[in-house]
Structure 1
Amino acid sequence: MILNRRKRESSVPRRPLSHLSQYGVTHLYRKNPLMVAWWSAAFPGFGHFLLNQYARACLLTLWELFINSFAHINEAMLYSFCGDFKMAKAIINPQWVFAYMLIYLFSIWDSYRSTVEANKLCELAEMENARIDGFIIRPLGIQYLEKKSPLSAAFSSFFFPGLGQLYNHRFGLAFYAMFSYCIYIGLSHAHEAVIMMMHGRIRESTAILHPHWLLFMPSILGGSIYHAYISAVEHNRLFRIEQRQFLAERYGFTDSSTIFH
C-alpha cells in the first residue's frame, strides 16, 4: 500500500510547465524582468498579468483605479505636462498620494522579483520535462493547444482590449479587460469625442473629454496588445514542446536536451 502511494506521488510532476483548464492555458515561460517591471510602472498589476498571477493583478489594477481617482494623479500629470505646475500642486490630494506611491513602488519591485524567481522555476520545469497535456474536455468547455498568430492576437487587442486574450483562450482575463475598457470609454467620453472630431467639431470634442479616465486608456490598450502578442508567441512554443514530447514517446527518441529548443 505504501509502495503504491509512493508510485502515485512520483508520477505527479513537482514543477509542471503548464496547466490546461476550461478557463485557459496557464504556463511558465522566461520573461525579461525589466520588461515586466516596466509594465508594472505603466499600470500597476500589468506586470503580474504577465506572470499569470491573475488575482493579484486584478486587485492591483483596481487599487490603481480607485486610489488614482481619489488622489487625482492623472489630472496632476496632465497639468504638469502642460507646464501648469501650480494647478497640478493644487489639485493633487496629499492624503492619498503617499499610500499610492508605496503600493506603486512595491508593485514594480514585486513584479521584478517574481519574474526572476519564475525564470528559475521555468528552467527547473524544463529540466523535469513533465508531460504536457494538449487537450482536455470539461463540462464548461473544451481546451486545447493550437498554433496561433501573434499578429492576429495583437490586432484583436488593438481594436478592443481583451479580444486578443479571448483569441488566446484566456476567457476570464479577456472579459475583465473588455468590461474595464468599456467603463473607461464611457467615463472618458472618448467615442463621443471621436465622432465629433470626424464631423469637424474639434473644440466640442476636446471639451467633452474627461482627462482623468482618458489617461488610463493608452496603458490599457498597450498592455493588452503586448500581453496578447507575447502570450500567442509562448502558446506556439508550448504547442511545439508538446508535439516534440509526443513524438519522442511515440518513436523512442529520448534525448530531452532538444525538447525546449
Structure 2
Amino acid sequence: MINPFLPSLARLSVYGITHLQKQSPLMVAWWSAVFPGLGHYLLNHYIRATFLTLSEVSINTFAHINDAMIYSFCGKFELAQSVVQPKWAFGYLIIYMISIWDSYRLTRYQNKLYELTCLKNEPILRVGIFPSEIQFLDRKKPSVGAIYSFLFPGLGQLYVHRFGLSFYTIIWWWIYLYSSRLHESLLQLVLGNLHASILILQPHWLLFMPSVMGGAIFHAYTTVIEHNKLYRTAQRQYLTNRYRKDEYFIFHKQV
C-alpha cells in the first residue's frame, strides 16, 4: 500500500529545489569517504552535511591527518607517526566511518521512498515565488554545471539554484586558496621559480582541494540531470491532466 502522506518528488523553497532521486549507495558512500559530508549533500541532507564538512576540516587540522598522509606518501613513516595527535585522531576515525555508513544507509532507504513516491505520482510544483527569491524548474546542461564547478567550486551549485550551498562552497574555496597559497605557487611556477613554488605551498590545506573540487563537479553534474528529469515529469503530468479527456495520444510508446 502506498503511503498517502508521501510528498511529491521535489519541493521548492527559498533555498532551492530539494528532491528525491535514485542513487547508487556505494557511490554515495564513496564520496563520503573522499570527504565526509559530500555524500550527504548528494542526498539533500544539507544541515548534517554542513556539520560533517566543518567537522572534517577542524578535526583533521587538530589531528594533523593530512600532514601525516603527506609524510606517509613520501615514505617518512616516523615523521607521520610523530605528527599525529591521538586525542583527536581516534575521534576523527569514528566520525569518518560513521559518516560513510550513514550515507550508505540513507541512500538505500531514500531509494525506496523514491520508488513509492513515483507510484503515487503527486504533482510537481515547477515555480515558487518567494519574497526574497524565485525558484523554478527548467532544463539545463549538465556539462555547464560541471564546467562552472571546475572553474570555481560553488558556481555549479549556483547554476542549479542551490544558492546557500553555493556561497558556502565559494567561501570555503577562498579559504583553501588563501591557506594553501596555491595561486602564489602557480605564479612562481609560471615565472620559472620551481623551487620557490614548492616552498610556498601549504600541503595541509592543498590536500583538501581535490576532494572539494571533485565533489562540487559531481554534485552539480548529477543535480542538473535530476532536475531535467523532474522537469520532464512535471511537463508530462501537466500535459496528461490538460488533455485527459481528449482522444489524442500525447505519448506514444512504440512496440
| Alignment match, 1:33 | 25
- Secondary structure at the aligned position of 1:137 is classed as strand
The letter for the 1-side match of 2:100 is I
Q: RMSD over aligned Cα, in angstroms?
A: 1.7
Aligned with 2:106 (options 90, 114, 117)? 114
CA–CA distance in 2 between the matches of 1:33 and 1:226?
Answer: 15
1:129–1:139 distance in 2 versus 1, CA, 3 Å = same
CA–CA distance in 1 between the matches of 2:22 and 2:245?
Answer: 26
1:253–1:146 distance in 2 versus 1, CA, 3 Å = farther
| Alignment match, 2:173 | 181
- Following TM superposition, by how much is the alpha carbon of 1:22 offset from its aligned partner in structure 2, in angstroms? 2.0
1:204–1:253 distance in 2 versus 1, CA, 3 Å = farther
CA–CA distance in 2 between the matches of 1:234 and 1:244?
Answer: 15
- Following TM superposition, by how much is the alpha carbon of 1:253 offset from its aligned partner in structure 2, in angstroms? 7.4
Normalised TM-score (structure 2): 0.94
Deviations 1:2-42, CA, capped at 9 Å, x for gaps:
xxxxxxxxxx8523211011211110010000000000000
Instruction: Tell me, yes or no, if structure 1 residue 43 matches structure 2 residue 30.
Output: no
CA contact (8 A) 1:196 1:204 kept: yes
- Following TM superposition, by how much is the alpha carbon of 1:142 offset from its aligned partner in structure 2, in angstroms? 1.1
CA–CA distance in 2 between the matches of 1:164 and 1:128?
Answer: 31
Instruction: Tell me, yes or no, if structure 1 residue 191 matches structure 2 residue 180.
Output: no
- Secondary structure at the aligned position of 2:122 is classed as coil
Say how many residue pairs are matched: 246
1:188–1:247 distance in 2 versus 1, CA, 3 Å = same
- Following TM superposition, by how much is the alpha carbon of 1:141 offset from its aligned partner in structure 2, in angstroms? 1.5
| Alignment match, 1:67 | 59
The letter for the 1-side match of 2:164 is G
| Alignment match, 1:125 | 117
Report % sequence identity: 53
CA–CA distance in 2 between the matches of 1:168 and 1:136?
Answer: 15
Write the mapping of 1:73-222 to structure 2, written as runs, cut at 5 A: 73-222=65-214
Deviations 1:173-196, CA, capped at 9 Å, x for gaps:
000000011001100001110111
